Amino acid sequence: MDNNKSTRLANKLFPVKEEYEIDILDIPADKRKLNTETYDFTVSTIVEYISEKHIDIPMFQRGYVWNRAQASRLIESLIIQCPIPVVYLSQNTDETLSVIDGNQRLTSISLYLNDEFPLTGLATYPELDGFRFSELDPRFQRHIRNRTIRCIVILKDTHPQIKFDVFERLNTGSVKLNPQELRHGIYNGPLIETIEELSNNSQFKKATSTTNDKRMKGEEMILRFFALHDDWQNYQKPMTTYLNNYAENNRFFDHENLNRLSRTFKSNFNKCIELYGEYTFKTFDEKRKRLKSNTALFDAQMISMSIINPPIGRLEEIDKNRVIARLSELMNDEDFYGSLTKGTTDRNTVHKRINEYTDFLRNILS
């Protein structure tokens, strides 16, 4: 009995889901230290810093979610001098600060002091229900402005991997933020904004099965392409850290570099669509059914296309039925298929599938 055939079928019907990696700290022991400073900022200072962009409040996947009653209770806590939980900030290379934990609290305070909502649902001082900040007695205003909030700042000389690890440990929401959602906040800037814009393309969403993408899967795929396209030969696992490093190092890419990256992505994506059609980035069975978007295959098809860089006219001339027939043979190769479904972020596996797919594409074009 052919057990391998059974295994291949099981792999296709019941694929192993790619789990988020646990990043083993592969950095020198002397660099694993968390470097912090503690500040007691007044509410007035915090609001000023937010207004001047010295404190950046990243908009994560769920953004600002507190309702007015929750925000009002926080303001009431300031009035009655109830202790406010510590806020964690990350110091950026340009000396600005990004909020790691405390987004809802700081946003609520900033909104209220800017007269964005009236107080509601107060328990201790219901007499203040309906009052905006500017309508409060000046003594209340001064009292709120002078309250202090303890802020722990993770300094910029802390290793990026340590910073990300701390962020994950502080990520205590009811729905945990995944790595790309964390990056969207920690490394927010021109690079992330460009990736977000590219991910909203309807053809890309269809090809990657991210039409209803609520967890930024499409954005992470584009980030993977950027990072691997830049230097896939020197890729080292874990993938999470590899992408973190790329996002941090290129967070403030200039306009020229961002345009270059966008053109490169769009060009290679369009070439893949031209060559593979509906099978782009998809695994499928012998009958060319059960099409399923696969991130590892996305890597292989996009990077191999950028390596060979054929003119679009050459791809238009190729018999597409022959291409898909050859691709079907490749999918039935147990060794190659395994590189798409098992240990997909291991260094050797990443190199194997890119090299093998580049050879496959080169043969198709010969």
305 three-class SS: helix
Same domain assignment for residues 183 and 281: yes
Same domain assignment for residues 120 and 232: no
Does some domain include residue 169?
Answer: no
Full residue range of the structural domain in which residue 271 is found: 178-365
How sure is the predictor about 63, in pLDDT bands with cuts at 50, 70 and 90? low
Same domain assignment for residues 157 and 187: no
Does some domain include residue 5?
Answer: no
Same domain assignment for residues 146 and 286: no
Does some domain include residue 13?
Answer: no
Which tens digit of pLDDT belongs to each residue from 76-131? 999 999 989 999 998 888 899 988 888 889 999 999 999 999 999 999 999 999 99
What is the rounded end-to-end Cα distance, in angstroms, of the chain?
A: 38
Same domain assignment for residues 136 and 189: no
Domain boundary among 163, 188, 214: 163
Same domain assignment for residues 70 and 182: no
- Can you give the pLDDT at residue 1? 47
| Least confident residue range of 30-44, 253-267, 322-336, 346-360 | 30-44
For 144, other C-beta atoms within 10 Å of its C-beta total: 20
Same domain assignment for residues 158 and 182: no
pLDDT above 80 for 167: no
Which tens digit of pLDDT belongs to each residue from 272-311? 999 999 999 999 877 777 788 999 999 999 999 999 999 9
Q: Do 129 and 120 contact (CB within 8 A), yes or no? A: yes
Same domain assignment for residues 214 and 318: yes
Q: Around 55, how many Cα atoms within 13 Å sit in the side-chain half-sphere?
A: 25
Burial of 117 (0-12, 13-18, 19+ CB in 10 A): middle
DSSP 8-class letter at 212: T
> Residue 191 contacts by C-beta under 8 Å, 6 or more apart in sequence?
226, 247, 250, 251, 252, 253, 258
What is the secondary structure of 64-85 as a DSSP string? ----HHHHHHHHHHHHTTPPPP
Q: Against a cut of 0.75, is the pTM above it? A: no
Does some domain include residue 57?
Answer: yes
Same domain assignment for residues 201 and 97: no
> Residue 156 contacts by C-beta under 8 Å, 6 or more apart in sequence?
91, 92, 93, 95
pLDDT > 90: what percent of the chain?
A: 64
pLDDT above 70 for 174: no
Same domain assignment for residues 65 and 209: no
